[in-house]
Structure 1
């Protein structure tokens, strides 16, 4: 394997999560001997028309090539705009950017296949067009190599969490609250494997139910959820989903947890605000149960919380309630605010690919071994 040079290299990471609220762009610097450094960020809002199209694709039983092409074209232009806005106020030239790491937009994720068919994961993306529009080399299609090696292809962020938060003097536990929630356990012992897995939905159901009943894209600070009461009978029905009993490695997405899945569990008599409160409780309980599976002895337990859900005050209160021995800590203490870790992860994965270094963790995804992830689209 090649070894990275000692001079800092600059990478851009682009991430559009399952919340479909926009494209996060992060500029990072990577040295040999230091954790990656976050230099600049930009959040490019998802245009309403593109948001609707992507949401349709995520839940469509059949799609046309024309729909996919339209979505990819608009998505790539939105990505290029994010890169332009990220670099506009900086004295960084395009020639200084080693690569853009593009996650793409997850449309469907089925690591165990469907109805006996092969495993697959689809991230809508057009890295060739992005390279043309941005003037930068692009690295994309990070997930399918891990899938080909028998892995879940998700979550991929734990490898970056290890590079960012790993310490020899203490354990670290990281919780990402995006559309879905995932945990990463980093032992202080280098010989111990990193553990990471999805615990279940985070914002995806909260956002969908809010949009259906209140309009808008999300429940600001969880205020609507806080106005309701948890429906314990509904919560029990939701938690009966077999996914919550699966051992790691495990990952999930919109193909399982979506508005129709929720509605199948409703009696039709529930108060809408109570359902929102119950969905927040579902996230909090499933996170707490995921941590219980890790059998961590640390007391008190430090939990680094990241992702958009970390700004949901009500949700964070419920997580704290179910984890009384945990201290919830912002990753900003490490120089990485809550919203930028996943975009940073795909910048880091681009670095790994360019230097022929593994980007997955077999202990997390279940792959047959470490693999170099992604394809290179040279500018």
Structure 2
């Protein structure tokens, strides 16, 4: 029961691909592959997050380029694992989000991928477009990974929280008795990465060392935290439409030191995660991190300082490396789709009921 999961998130850094084996109720991660975006593709995808000249044509071309990159990742995986494409049931491909507008007046979410082209290039059945069926049922279409977290990480006696810190940070609550819940807290690495790239030329702040060299600007942090999204009750989800550099610049005077802004952005991620936990999950004592932010030592240290009475570890100790959890989730969501089994959790997304997610492109 081999499936491939492909994830390219709001960090816009590249493609995570995994080969997994589902056998009954068991799960194993067979192999992984990461393919980075080249600077041109990264810039084009970032530009498509806003309206621009000839954007429909540019989006179609980018979807094709992405699909060819996804196909490269599939070839990489199969060669590493020495598995033939005929042995793969399906590819679950999230695609690259360029717009996420689940609000009732819009009701759509766009992830760039040409599912037909990917199926043609790989000769493997492809499942894409996981979000819009949930949105059609009045849900947020995100986050979708909590259902996978429930299957992989739940404990019969312990209330656990899974905290994914990618471009956006989100929480999954896995209580002992009550239903699973979760939501997007706010920016994860997204603003930090953008600010770092603009001022240092580096794609991200390694271990948060640049942020650590600065100091938190108290008035700026207070102003950022006053933004209405942070006080909204769940279910809720967000993305670059809300939290981009223009949003940040609207709060700056222009006199702030760049490293101090970076330190403040890191604290914003920490504070919004910690505040969400204190507000909604005060009894949870085990916290497990995944996503790129799990490797940011400064961020993790500050989060532990905020939540001193809780144990914080990576999902590695639960059996799935922190870097690959989301890609594994979309392999699982592909299996749910192929087997015509619901993949969403209404308590998380706000949908009116459970739904089978995804559009299928047969091999």
Give the TM bin, normalised by the shorter chain: over 0.9
Residues 12 and 27, structure 1, Cα contact 8 Å, conserved in 2:
yes
Does residue 1:194 correspond to 2:180, yes or no? yes
Of 331, 350, 371 in structure 1, the residue corresponding to residue 334 of structure 2 is: 350
Deviation for aligned residue 1:52: 1.1
Of 200, 209, 218 in structure 2, the residue corresponding to residue 223 of structure 1 is: 209
User: Where does residue 96 of structure 1 map in the other structure?
Assistant: 87
Deviation for aligned residue 1:65: 2.5
Of 3, 6, 10 in structure 2, the residue corresponding to residue 14 of structure 1 is: 6
Deviation for aligned residue 1:342: 0.4
User: Where does residue 238 of structure 1 map in the other structure?
Assistant: 224
Secondary structure of 1:376's counterpart equals: strand
User: Where does residue 356 of structure 2 map in the other structure?
Assistant: 372
Corresponding pairs, count: 363
User: Where does residue 240 of structure 2 map in the other structure?
Assistant: 254
Unaligned segments of structure 1, at least 5 residues: 1-8
Deviation for aligned residue 1:53: 0.7
Separation in 2 of the partners of 1:51 and 1:61?
16
Separation in 2 of the partners of 1:321 and 1:84?
43
Deviations 1:287-338 (A, max 9, x none): 001101224324xx11000000111111111111111111111111122111
User: Where does residue 6 of structure 1 map in the other structure?
Assistant: none
Does residue 1:55 correspond to 2:46, yes or no? yes
Cα distance change of structure 1 residues 13 and 295 upon mapping to structure 2, 3 Å threshold: closer
Does residue 1:178 correspond to 2:166, yes or no? yes
Separation in 1 of the partners of 2:318 and 2:98?
32
Deviations 1:113-150 (A, max 9, x none): 5xxx3221111110000001111100000000000000
Of 48, 57, 74 in structure 2, the residue corresponding to residue 66 of structure 1 is: 57
Separation in 2 of the partners of 1:187 and 1:57?
38
Separation in 2 of the partners of 1:49 and 1:372?
35
Residues 38 and 335, structure 1, Cα contact 8 Å, conserved in 2:
no
Residues 183 and 236, structure 2, Cα contact 8 Å, conserved in 1:
yes
Separation in 2 of the partners of 1:10 and 1:345?
14
Of 115, 135, 152 in structure 2, the residue corresponding to residue 147 of structure 1 is: 135
Unaligned segments of structure 2, at least 5 residues: none
Of 6, 12, 19 in structure 2, the residue corresponding to residue 27 of structure 1 is: 19
Separation in 2 of the partners of 1:46 and 1:109?
21
TM (normalized to structure 2)? 0.98
Does residue 1:313 correspond to 2:304, yes or no? no
Residues 57 and 63, structure 1, Cα contact 8 Å, conserved in 2:
no
